[in-house]
A and B are shown apart, each in its own frame.
Chain A
Amino acid sequence: MHVKMRTKGLRFKINGAILLASVIVALFAGSILYPVEINRRAARLEEIESLLKAVFLQKKEAIANEVFADQLLALQHTLRDIHRVHGVAQLSIYDLDGHVILATESGAPRHLAPQRMARLEDAALFHKTRIDGRSLAAYTTLIEVIGERVGYIAMYYDLSELERESILVAGFFLSMLLAVLAVMALFLNLLLTRAVIQPAGRLRDAIGKVRAGNLGEQVAIASTDEIGEMAADFNAMSKKLQEQHVALSDAVQTKESFAQKLAQSNRQLADLNTNLEARVETRTEELKRSYERLEQEMIERKRAYEEKSRLEEKLVRSQKMEALGMLAGGVAHDLNNVLSGIVSYPELLLLQLQADSPLRTPIKTIQESGQKAAAIVQDLLTLTRRGVINADVLDINKQIVEPYLQSPEYEKLMTAHPGVRIAVTLAEDLLPIKGSTIHLTKTLMNLVTNAAESIEDRGRITISTENRYTDLAFKNGDNVQEGEYAVLIVSDTGLGIAPEDLDRIFEPFYTRKKMGRSGTGLGMAVVWGTVQDHNGQINVQSRRGVGTTFEIFFPATREALSITDQAFSLAALAGQGEKILVVDDVPAQREITSSILEELGYRVATVPGGEAALAYLEKHSADLMILDMIMTPGMDGLETYRRILARHPDQKAVIASGFAENERVRAAQELGAGLYIRKPFTLEKIGRAVKMALGDPPPSAFPE
């Protein structure tokens, strides 16, 4: 825009100059033309005078003689002839006295003044005059022939044409001038544009481009004038700039490429170096690793060896325990059958007795004794791992620890050891685990009892629970995985356990305590077995004179707490006269079971064995079967169930067995048998199982 303004200014200036020049030219032309015009007019007037003079001279003799001879008619003719001459407007002839003799028109003066006549003696007069509004040139002269003066003649010439001529001429020249000036101006403008402004503009554009960085810009101006030269110089300069720039760029480029190459080389070198280092490192690493691996291998080998020893030990131990277990198992099995009577009948009797009956206490005692014996048997069974653990989802805090702390056993224990204080720290968010309340309570009891007994005088026992997440294998661990654990910790400030004893504390009947002081000698074994049954892990830490801490890790479950939390309600377990078939080879067991079931409100049928069951079901139907697993001789429970199902696919069954859950039980459950209950079972247990098997969901009622 700025530059454009300047170009406009240039045009403006030059246009102004052209205009000024034009004005000057016009003035000049005018100053020349004006006198020329004046001269022309004067010349025309002269011409007119000459014409009139000539015409007069031509006719002078005739006029003179006609005037002289009074030939007025002839004079008229003559004047008419003169009048025909183009431009002659009027004619007047005067006598020597100055009076008009003849005039072609009125309007001209009828007399000549004496002064005029006097002047006419010397020469003719020629002057401009007006007659009747017309501008005329008058030529007045004396008429004299051969010295004879006869009169005067006034010849009038019409000047209107002359004047019109003047105006036309002026107009014509003016318009000519204007036209010429206009054309000239236009032409000059065009010329100027082409010769100056446009090239200047182009040059300016090119300069702008160069300034903007477009070096080497050439401008196409072909003229050879100053602008052309400027353009040529500019072109050369621009080209040179470009070349220099290019050269510079090239040089820089070259340098840069060299630098790059150098850098590259350097980098390569560095890379090489690092590579080298890396390779060395890698090599070193590899060596290290292989060394480590070697070490590891060696350690592992060592460990494996140790493990082997340990396992061998364990195996020995296991075998020992198994042997013991087998023994115990055999005993327990027989005892269990016997004990069912002692456990179950009292319960029935208690139900039939009134609350204030004096028989209550003894019967209760019988029951308790029976239960205790059953417990021992259970413990023994537990050792053989043939017991069946109920896998209920339970909360250790609420269902193990707290109930235990309320239990009479606990009371008795505390009473027995007055110097012992109990501290209880329970994690509020303790994860639930899957397990058996009875076993776990037993475990806790055993631990706490041992703890209390280890304290001689005064001491403290701490019971705590907490959640732990562990990802390391334990010291004594086998098969312990990572995961969440609910940990039960019982620690005491007692005598502690000697290191050489730590390994053996879980052995059945291994005790430092006096025989018969308490427990069965199986306490720790039971604990150990329970822990194993719960897929948990027990840790022992002890120092003589300081104390002992037992940590038991139970795998946590995320299942909801099981229904077995709910309170027992007899009424809820009542049956509606459903038909139940009890299949058991032991008659006493059959009796017990049917009595309980009838008590609960069911119709019961009993058969001594599998074949009998089959036969029975041929003729009768049963809503539910209570199936004993171990039946001799003949088919066992599983086989019986299989066969029955083959004939009666919808037959529901509950499995009852004195042994812990095992494969056969599981297989039967897979076939479709609903639940498994362990003998000896309580009323509650059988009732629930039957209810559940029959399909009625037991009512839920939470104890407060």
Chain B
Amino acid sequence: MAARTEKCLQAGMWREHHGIPFGRIGGLLVCLVLLGGFLFPPNGSAEPIKIAAIFAQSGIAADNNALAINAVELAADEINRRGGVRGRHLALTIIDNQSTPIGSQAAARRAVAMGAAAVIGPSWSSHCLPAAKVLQDAGVPMITPTASNPQITRIGDYIFRVCFTDDFQGRALAYLARKDIAARTAVILVNANEAYSMTLAEFFGQHFSRLGGKVLWQGTYNAKAADFRDLLDQTRRQRPQVIFVPGYARDSGLIVSQARKVGIQTTFIGGDGWGGEIFDFGGAALAGCYYTTHWYPTRSNRQSQELMNSYEARFGPPSVWRTIIPLTWDAVWLLAAAIEKGGATDRAALRSALAATRNFEGVSGAISFDDQGNPRGKGAYVIRLTAESREFVKIIAAP
């Protein structure tokens, strides 16, 4: 569907700009299809709404973001199936940010250049920060499904997220560590490349200390690192009671796995960056570790059920139901709702509509934006990992 949509866009562009022909017959055929589509639209005859989705299609975050792309496509298609928004279909464009901040900046600029009404994504905080800057300056609303770094929405009022922020997550994790795991000492291993990791670590440290714990040491590593032995040696020397790894699935999984290999049996905890695919990297070593996340399949509501069915119907069941799917789904539907209210042509109106989102019934829960653009009351699902699967522990409610 996405490919077709892209091709339609291209054809449209061709129509508009007399672009490069790619075979007269092919072009003609496309034109005919488009004409058909245009002449016999299922519903609505207005110009489609350009929506840009900035995700990592290459680079380190590509795996992680692939599900988001699936989700965004699924959502857009669903919306369009239902007749679009205000009689207009969503024309979705996926822009690759190459998993880098600079790439994200470039992607955002492209989104602006293409005249996107709004942007869904990026997913990671370090990607969102430069993109948000561009989009804020350009006055294009941006909804990130998963980025939890608080700084992102502070960039401007055009920037929104549908997940909790790291200051809450950090506190929750500190609580978890202090109270539930009853650790008095902790070591934090930070992904130096990811703003998410650094911020979450900071918040955790603060709250952990406030709760009476002591952060013995904070080690850093680079995102692309694969050998964490030095880091772990130093960690072991600290002999913490808990080790907090606010990284993404790959690096966190590798850390835990290697830690177990060198004999560190301490409980690891992590944030929402871990995600379900951490098993790909950590394997059975992850048994006994905890992390917080936004949603859990078995604890979901009716909407999540529907989403899962649709998703499965289209993409097959994912190995792990990762929160990025519902969050991205929610972001798109939320946007659609806002467009419904405020229209897509006036971006300021759209922004206002977005900002005014109250009790949107998302898969990941009810979303009401605060004045920052952050959803209120999103609780943290505490998940415990076993050798092969996950277990829901509890939800730490938001204040």
Given contacts A61-B100, A77-B220, contact A69 B129 (CB under 8 A): yes
Assess the A74–B223 pair: CB atoms within 8 A. yes
Interface: B357 (CB within 8 A): no
Question: In the complex, which residues 115-159 of chain A have their Cβ closer than 8 Å to any Cβ of chain B?
Answer: 145-148, 150
Across the interface, which residues of A come within 8 angstroms of B222, CB to CB?
Answer: 62, 74, 77-78, 81
Interface string of B258-291 (1 = CB under 8 A from A): 0000000000000000000000000000000000
Across the interface, which residues of A come within 8 angstroms of B198, CB to CB?
Answer: 73
Interface: A64 (CB within 8 A): yes
Across the interface, which residues of A come within 8 angstroms of B103, CB to CB?
Answer: 65, 145-146
Question: In the complex, which residues 144-185 of chain B have their Cβ closer than 8 Å to any Cβ of chain A?
Answer: none
Question: Considering only CB atoms, which chain B residue lies closest to A75 in the complex?
Answer: B192
Cα distance A65–B130 in the bound complex, in angstroms: 10
Assess the B106–A65 pair: CB atoms within 8 A. no
Interface: B386 (CB within 8 A): no
Q: Report A152 CB to chain B, min CB distance, Å.
A: 16
Across the interface, which residues of B come within 8 angstroms of A62, CB to CB?
Answer: 193, 222, 224
Q: Report A465 CB to chain B, min CB distance, Å.
A: 167
Cα distance A62–B101 in the bound complex, in angstroms: 10
Interface: B64 (CB within 8 A): no
Cα distance A64–B98 in the bound complex, in angstroms: 13
Interface: B102 (CB within 8 A): yes
Assess the A69–B126 pair: CB atoms within 8 A. yes
Across the interface, which residues of A come within 8 angstroms of B225, CB to CB?
Answer: 77
Interface: A305 (CB within 8 A): no
Contact among B101, B105, B129, B220 for A73, CB-based, below 8 A: B220
Assess the B101–A68 pair: CB atoms within 8 A. yes
Across the interface, which residues of B come within 8 angstroms of A77, CB to CB?
Answer: 192, 220-222, 225
Interface: A265 (CB within 8 A): no
Q: Report A149 CB to chain B, min CB distance, Å.
A: 10
Contact among A66, A81, A145, A146 for B193, CB-based, below 8 A: A66
Cα distance A174–B220 in the bound complex, in angstroms: 52
Given contacts A77-B220, A77-B222, A78-B222, contact A71 B192 (CB under 8 A): yes
Cα distance A145–B105 in the bound complex, in angstroms: 11
Across the interface, which residues of B come within 8 angstroms of A78, CB to CB?
Answer: 222
Q: Report B105 CB to chain A, min CB distance, Å.
A: 6
Given contacts A74-B222, A78-B222, contact A65 B192 (CB under 8 A): no
Question: Considering only CB atoms, which chain B residue lies closest to A66 in the complex?
Answer: B193
- The bracket for how many chain B residues form the interface is 20 to 34
Interface string of B94-138 (1 = CB under 8 A from A): 000010111101100000000000000000001001100000000
Interface string of B74-103 (1 = CB under 8 A from A): 000000000000000000000000101111
Assess the A69–B101 pair: CB atoms within 8 A. yes
Assess the B130–A69 pair: CB atoms within 8 A. yes
Interface string of A52-72 (1 = CB under 8 A from B): 000000000110111011010
Give the most central of A64, A71, A74, A78: most B CB within 10 Å.
A74
Across the interface, which residues of A come within 8 angstroms of B224, CB to CB?
Answer: 62
Across the interface, which residues of A come within 8 angstroms of B126, CB to CB?
Answer: 65, 69, 71
Cα distance A77–B192 in the bound complex, in angstroms: 8
Assess the B220–A64 pair: CB atoms within 8 A. no
Question: Considering only CB atoms, which chain B residue lies closest to A80 in the complex?
Answer: B222
Question: Considering only CB atoms, which chain B residue lies closest to A61 in the complex?
Answer: B100
Interface: B67 (CB within 8 A): no
Across the interface, which residues of B come within 8 angstroms of A68, CB to CB?
Answer: 101-102, 105, 130
Across the interface, which residues of B come within 8 angstroms of A76, CB to CB?
Answer: 192
Interface: B187 (CB within 8 A): no
Cα distance A69–B193 in the bound complex, in angstroms: 8
Cα distance A66–B193 in the bound complex, in angstroms: 7
Across the interface, which residues of A come within 8 angstroms of B192, CB to CB?
Answer: 71, 73-74, 76-77
Assess the A146–B98 pair: CB atoms within 8 A. yes
Across the interface, which residues of B come within 8 angstroms of A71, CB to CB?
Answer: 126, 192-193, 195
Give the most central of B106, B221, B224: most A CB within 10 Å.
B224
Contact among A73, A81, A145, A147 for B100, CB-based, below 8 A: A145
Across the interface, which residues of A come within 8 angstroms of B105, CB to CB?
Answer: 68, 148
The A contact surface, by secondary structure, is: helix
Question: In the complex, which residues 15-35 of chain A have their Cβ closer than 8 Å to any Cβ of chain B?
Answer: none
Question: Considering only CB atoms, which chain A residue lies closest to B105 in the complex?
Answer: A148
Q: Report A147 CB to chain B, min CB distance, Å.
A: 7
Assess the A145–B220 pair: CB atoms within 8 A. no
Across the interface, which residues of A come within 8 angstroms of B223, CB to CB?
Answer: 74
Cα distance A69–B223 in the bound complex, in angstroms: 14
Cα distance A350–B219 in the bound complex, in angstroms: 197
Cα distance A74–B198 in the bound complex, in angstroms: 11
Q: Report A76 CB to chain B, min CB distance, Å.
A: 8
Assess the A147–B195 pair: CB atoms within 8 A. no
Question: Considering only CB atoms, which chain B residue lies closest to A81 in the complex?
Answer: B222
Given contacts A65-B100, A68-B101, contact A146 B220 (CB under 8 A): no
Give the most central of B100, B130, B195: most A CB within 10 Å.
B100
Cα distance A65–B98 in the bound complex, in angstroms: 11
Question: Considering only CB atoms, which chain A residue lies closest to B59 in the complex?
Answer: A61
Cα distance A150–B100 in the bound complex, in angstroms: 13
Cα distance A70–B240 in the bound complex, in angstroms: 29
Q: Report A512 CB to chain B, min CB distance, Å.
A: 192
Cα distance A64–B101 in the bound complex, in angstroms: 9
Q: Report B332 CB to chain A, min CB distance, Å.
A: 26
Given contacts A69-B129, A69-B130, contact A74 B102 (CB under 8 A): no
Across the interface, which residues of B come within 8 angstroms of A64, CB to CB?
Answer: 100, 102
Q: Report B197 CB to chain A, min CB distance, Å.
A: 10
Cα distance A65–B221 in the bound complex, in angstroms: 15
Across the interface, which residues of A come within 8 angstroms of B130, CB to CB?
Answer: 68-69
Q: Report B223 CB to chain A, min CB distance, Å.
A: 7
Across the interface, which residues of A come within 8 angstroms of B220, CB to CB?
Answer: 73-74, 77
Question: In the complex, which residues 54-109 of chain A have their Cβ closer than 8 Å to any Cβ of chain B?
Answer: 61-62, 64-66, 68-69, 71, 73-74, 76-78, 81
Cα distance A75–B308 in the bound complex, in angstroms: 40
Assess the A147–B106 pair: CB atoms within 8 A. yes
Question: In the complex, which residues 187-231 of chain B have their Cβ closer than 8 Å to any Cβ of chain A?
Answer: 190, 192-193, 195, 198, 220-225
Interface string of A140-183 (1 = CB under 8 A from B): 00000111101000000000000000000000000000000000
Cα distance A81–B224 in the bound complex, in angstroms: 11
Question: Considering only CB atoms, which chain A residue lies closest to B191 in the complex?
Answer: A74
Cα distance A219–B98 in the bound complex, in angstroms: 93
Across the interface, which residues of B come within 8 angstroms of A61, CB to CB?
Answer: 98, 100, 102
Q: Report A191 CB to chain B, min CB distance, Å.
A: 63
Q: Report A153 CB to chain B, min CB distance, Å.
A: 15
Across the interface, which residues of B come within 8 angstroms of A73, CB to CB?
Answer: 190, 192, 198, 220
Give the most central of A69, A147, A150: most B CB within 10 Å.
A69
Cα distance A454–B223 in the bound complex, in angstroms: 197
Give the most central of B106, B126, B190, B193: most A CB within 10 Å.
B193
Q: Report A405 CB to chain B, min CB distance, Å.
A: 176
Across the interface, which residues of A come within 8 angstroms of B190, CB to CB?
Answer: 73
Question: Considering only CB atoms, which chain B residue lies closest to A74 in the complex?
Answer: B192
Q: Report A680 CB to chain B, min CB distance, Å.
A: 184
Across the interface, which residues of A come within 8 angstroms of B100, CB to CB?
Answer: 61, 64-65, 145
Across the interface, which residues of B come within 8 angstroms of A65, CB to CB?
Answer: 100-103, 126, 193
Give the most central of B130, B190, B222, B224: most A CB within 10 Å.
B222
Assess the B193–A150 pair: CB atoms within 8 A. no
Contact among B106, B129, B193, B195 for A148, CB-based, below 8 A: B106
Across the interface, which residues of A come within 8 angstroms of B102, CB to CB?
Answer: 61, 64-65, 68, 145-146, 148, 150
Give the most central of A65, A77, A146: most B CB within 10 Å.
A65
Closest CB pairs A-B (n = 10): A74-B192, A73-B192, A77-B222, A74-B193, A69-B101, A65-B100, A148-B102, A146-B106, A65-B101, A145-B102
Q: For the A-B complex with A62-B222, A62-B224, A77-B220 known, give 12 more contacts whose Cβ atoms are closer than 8 Å.
A: A65-B100, A65-B126, A66-B193, A69-B193, A73-B198, A73-B220, A74-B192, A74-B222, A77-B225, A78-B222, A145-B103, A150-B102
14 A-B residue pairs with Cβ-Cβ distance under 8 Å, sorted by A, are A61-B100, A61-B102, A65-B103, A65-B193, A68-B130, A69-B101, A71-B126, A73-B220, A74-B193, A74-B222, A77-B225, A145-B100, A145-B103, A146-B103
